[in-house]
C-alpha cells in the first residue's frame, strides 16, 4: 500500500479530542487500564503502518486522536513517507519535528537509505 492510498482509506469518524488535550484536562491522571489500552492500540497501529511500509515520522500526543468510544488512532500523516526506498535519498529538514529528530539527522548523515 502506498501513502497516497492510505489517505483515501481512512475512516470519516470525527475525533473527540487529541491525547495532548486529554492529558492536560485530567486533574488526577489517566487510569492505568486506559493507558494500557491506548499503548496497545498505538503499538498495534505503528506495527500496521510498518507492515505496509509507512513511516509516520510525527508521532506526538497531539497527533494521537481519541474517539468517543475511547479508542486511540494515529493521525496527521503530513510528514509520513514510504519506508521502502530503493536508493539513498538526501536528508531533508522536513524529516523532523520539535518532538522527534531522526537518528540520521542527529548523526549529520547526508543520505537516507
Ordered structural domains, the chain, with CATH: 3-84 (1.10.510.10)
pLDDT of 111 over the 60 cut = no
Contacts of 29 (CB under 8 A, 6+ apart): none
Asked if residue 85 lies in contact with residue 104, where contact means CB atoms within 8 angstroms, the answer is no
Q: Starting from the edge strand earliest in sequence, which strands make up the sheet with 72-74, in order?
A: 17-18, 64-66, 72-74
Pairing assessment for the beta strands 89-90 and 111-112 based on DSSP bridges: antiparallel
Please work out, in degrees rounded to the nearest 5, the angle formed at the alpha carbon of residue 76 by the alpha carbons of 92 and 102.
Answer: 35
pLDDT at 42: 94
Point out the residues that are catalytic. 58
- Specify the length of the chain in residues: 113
pLDDT of 38 over the 60 cut = yes
For the chain, what percent of residues have pLDDT higher than 70? 61
pLDDT of 7 over the 60 cut = no
Amino acid at each position: 500500500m502506498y501513502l497516497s492510498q492510505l489517505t483515501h482509506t481512512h475512516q470519516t469518524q470525527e475525533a473527540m479530542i487529541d491525547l495532548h488535550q486529554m492529558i492536560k484536562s485530567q486533574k488526577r491522571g489517566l487510569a492505568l487500564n486506559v493507558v494500557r489500552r491506548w499503548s496497545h492500540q498505538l503499538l498495534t497501529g505503528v506495527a500496521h503502518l510498518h507492515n505496509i511500509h509507512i513511516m509516520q515520522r510525527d508521532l506526538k500526543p497531539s497527533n494521537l486522536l481519541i474517539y468517543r468510544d475511547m479508542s486511540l488512532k494515529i493521525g496527521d500523516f503530513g510528514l509520513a513517507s514510504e519506508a521502502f526506498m530503493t536508493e539513498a535519498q538526501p536528508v531533508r529538514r522536513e524529516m523532523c519535528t520539535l518532538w522527534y529528530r531522526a537518528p540520521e539527522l542527529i548523526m549529520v548523515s547526508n543520505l537516507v537509505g
